[in-house]
Amino acid sequence: MVNRVWDADEKPTLGQGWALGWAWGRGLGGTGWGTILVLACLALGFTASAVEYERVRVKGERERAGLLATADSEVEGQLEDLGKFLAEPQTRLIRLAGANSSPIANAVIAWNSVEQKGYLLCDDLKALEPASAYELWVKRGSDEPIRIAGIEPKAGVSVYQFRASGVKSRDRLEITAGPPSAGKSPILSGEFD
């Protein structure tokens, strides 16, 4: 086929128009259908990739929301349990006072003598050295102290549940950072009702 320039008053025939279109697409001024198809496929590939990325992201967010809902439900359950525990008539609140050098000013223990179960309520528990915990001790007069529980503080937690047995009315409660030793004062102390 010969490249021909058409005059303004001339119109190509159908066959000539197709040939012109084919020639235009094959490099006489255009990029060609093959190139256009390749670019269209690349665009579709990028679009599909973006859609897949968005699908995976949304799925991850839904899974995270499910985990948060489960954790929230667990916390709500714990708060409900604590509320029921505090409402029981056998539950008593024991105010604990800090020693002069104690980093903790005060705390409260909710104690149920029937269940021999309690909660330590304290916002100021700081982390101790590794493999060390706060220890709850009962003292009866001049008897040796009896360890009733250990509590490991956690960031953002201010309620710690514990169980003990053999605690009696008028027993003295002391909390130490680690095991007690001579010359080491308790951090907090109070008395069971």
The DSSP letter of residue 174 is E
Q: What is the pLDDT of residue 28?
A: 45
Would 64 be classed as within a structural domain?
A: no
Would 120 be classed as within a structural domain?
A: yes
Q: What is the pLDDT of residue 56?
A: 92
Would 32 be classed as within a structural domain?
A: no
Digit-coded pLDDT (tens) for 25-52: 554 445 577 788 888 888 888 898 999 9
- Distances in Å between the Cα of 176 and the Cα atoms of 100, 126, 172 are 14, 12, 13
Structural domain including 124 reads 90-191
Would 52 be classed as within a structural domain?
A: no
Number of domains within the chain = 1
Would 104 be classed as within a structural domain?
A: yes
Read off the pTM.
Answer: 0.58
The Cα–Cα gap between 10 and 7 comes to 5
Q: What is the pLDDT of residue 15?
A: 53
Beta bridge mates, 136: 149, 175
* Of 143, 153, 152, 147, residue with least CA distance to 173: 147
Q: Which two tokens stand for residue 78?
A: 């714990």
Q: How confident is the model at residue 8 (pLDDT cuts 50, 70, 90)?
A: low
Taking residues 142-169, report their average pLDDT: 83
Q: What is the pLDDT of residue 54?
A: 92
What's the mean per-residue pLDDT of the chain? Answer: 78
The Cα–Cα gap between 101 and 26 comes to 91
pLDDT tops 80 at residue 59: yes
* Of 138, 146, 144, residue with least CA distance to 192: 138
Q: Return the CATH number at 173.
A: 2.60.40
* Cβ neighbourhood burial of 122 (10 Å; 0-12, 13-18, 19+): buried
pLDDT tops 80 at residue 122: yes
Would 8 be classed as within a structural domain?
A: no
Helices (runs of H) and strands (runs of E) counted in the chain: 2, 8
Beta bridge mates, 145: none
The Cα–Cα gap between 113 and 138 comes to 14
Digit-coded pLDDT (tens) for 62-99: 998 888 888 777 777 777 788 888 888 988 888 888 77
